[in-house]
Amino acid sequence: MDQTFVELLERNAAHAAEFDDRFDSVQDSQSPPVVTVCCSDSRVLQDRMFGNETPGEIFTCGNIGNRVLQRTESGTVVSGDVLYPIVHTGTDTVVVVGHTGCGAVTATYDDLTEGISDTPGIEHCLSLLKPALEPGVEALPSGLDRPAAINRLVEYNVDRQIDALLDCPDVPAETTVVGVVYDFQDVYEGRRGEVHVINVGGERDMAALRDAHSEIATGSTACGRTDSAALALLTVRGIYRTSFPNAIASTITETLVVRFFVCGTVLPSMSAETDAQGRLYIPKEVREKYGQRYHIVLYEDRIELIPVADDPLTAVREAAGDLHDASVEEIREDIETAAKDDAAEAGSDR
């Protein structure tokens, strides 16, 4: 017998010993509150990602590309494995789970851009994804590297699967439909293994989701105002789902020039693109160099992004330079001297 399978049996024996008494209430029927549609991938732990160890809690569906559609003689319809718990077990929540670096999305992208040849079964699966992803491929901004393009399409695919569920007459209107991305590649801010909510009932704007669902951590976080500019904390969520607050999003265009400030130094301007929801794409090389979190400063005629240090105290000490070891009295004297010098210079300019 193959040793891998023998090891699986040994693990199952431990599983049975642990779970023996957990099936009492569900051994004859089930009424799971949620159905998940995940990508078939060994790294996507369908139950464990939600911490589930209770039989009967999650109805799990899996296929390459986390598709909700299948092709029948009557046309393309929502798959029976997704509909079954909704129609027959009282399930009222559907969660579509994409994941970073999805192989099915990658293969579909390659097929649409270059053409590929694969086994008939895999080509059939890709043919179900291609109609949904083709507009997304055509809309990709120029200059994206391959991983960034794939991860945009991962989110785009989740959005399209959500659309299909919302358009299906067999899915009751009161059903909660949610789209998430499971990140095990450290693409988004956070920890590997986290799910990132990107769509609730068709709503994809991060600021709107935050406003409507305060219990979900998404998008940017408002931080009040300063005297001269609106100030918000922007958390760059990897590649696509970065949103400006509504007040800022309404003032910017699809393409803008962004100025970055680091320790008071103005860096060379660069172009960055937003989508229709005001989500900003910040290139990977910028994020790697300056980090994942920025203050947004809004002026009458421009916005500025100021990187937020992971360790603010260290950053302040570095910026302070020689003042780090100075006494309070020495700092006060330096400030007074600088103020007098500034006043004298201003008087001489009059």
CA angle 187/190/191 to nearest 5° reads 90
334 within domain boundaries: no
For residue 93, the domain's CATH number is 3.40.1050.10
| Tens-digit pLDDT profile for residues 156-169 | 999 999 999 999 99
Per-residue pLDDT of the chain (350 residues; tens, 9 = 90+): 899 999 999 999 999 999 999 999 999 999 999 999 999 999 999 999 999 999 999 999 999 999 999 999 989 999 999 999 999 999 999 999 999 999 999 999 999 999 999 999 999 999 999 999 999 999 998 888 999 999 999 999 999 999 999 999 999 999 999 999 999 998 987 789 999 999 999 998 887 888 888 777 533 322 111 122 222 233 333 333 333 333 333 343 444 444 444 444 444 555 565 654 455 666 666 777 777 677 677 666 667 777 776 665 565 555 555 555 666 666 667 766 766 676 666 566 55
Helix axes 103-113, 120-138, angle to 10 degrees: 70
Residue 12 belongs to some domain of the structure: no
**Residue 64: which of 144, 119, 135 has the closest Cα?**
119
Same domain, 93 and 143: yes
The last residue of a domain, from among 170, 204, 238: 204
Q: How far apart are CA 168 and CA 94, in angstroms?
A: 13
Cα torsion angle, 279, 285, 287, 289, sign: negative
What is the DSSP-derived secondary structure letter of residue 154?
H
Residue 4: inside a domain, yes or no?
Answer: no
Asked, for residue 95, whether it belongs to a domain, the answer is yes
- Is residue 4 within a helix (H) or strand (E), and if so which, with residue range? helix 3-19
User: Could you tell me the residue range of the domain that residue 297 belongs to?
Assistant: 221-307
Strands of 58-63's sheet in order across: 58-63, 34-39, 93-99, 176-183, 194-200
Helix, strand, coil percentages, rounded to 5, for the chain: 40, 25, 40
Residue 315 maps to a domain: no
The verdict on 173 and 288 lying in the same domain is: no
21 belongs to a structural domain: no
Q: Quick: pLDDT tens for 78-127.
A: 999 999 999 999 999 999 999 999 999 999 999 999 999 999 999 999 99
The answer to whether residues 225 and 195 belong to one domain is no
- Are residues 199 and 227 both part of a single domain? no
Contact (Cβ atoms closer than 8 angstroms) between residue 248 and residue 234: no
Among 168, 170, 174, 192, smallest CA distance to 182 is for 192
pLDDT of residue 340: 67
Which pLDDT score is estimated for 206?
Answer: 80
pLDDT for position 322? 56
pTM for the full predicted model: 0.65
Based on the fold, state whether residues 175 and 81 are members of the same structural domain: yes
| Pair (196, 225) in one structural domain | no
| The predicted structure's pLDDT at residue 210 | 80
Instruction: Domain count for the chain, please give it.
Output: 2
Residue at 319 is within a domain: no
Distance of CA 117 to the CA centre of its chain: 31
Q: Which residues pair with 199 in a beta bridge?
A: 179
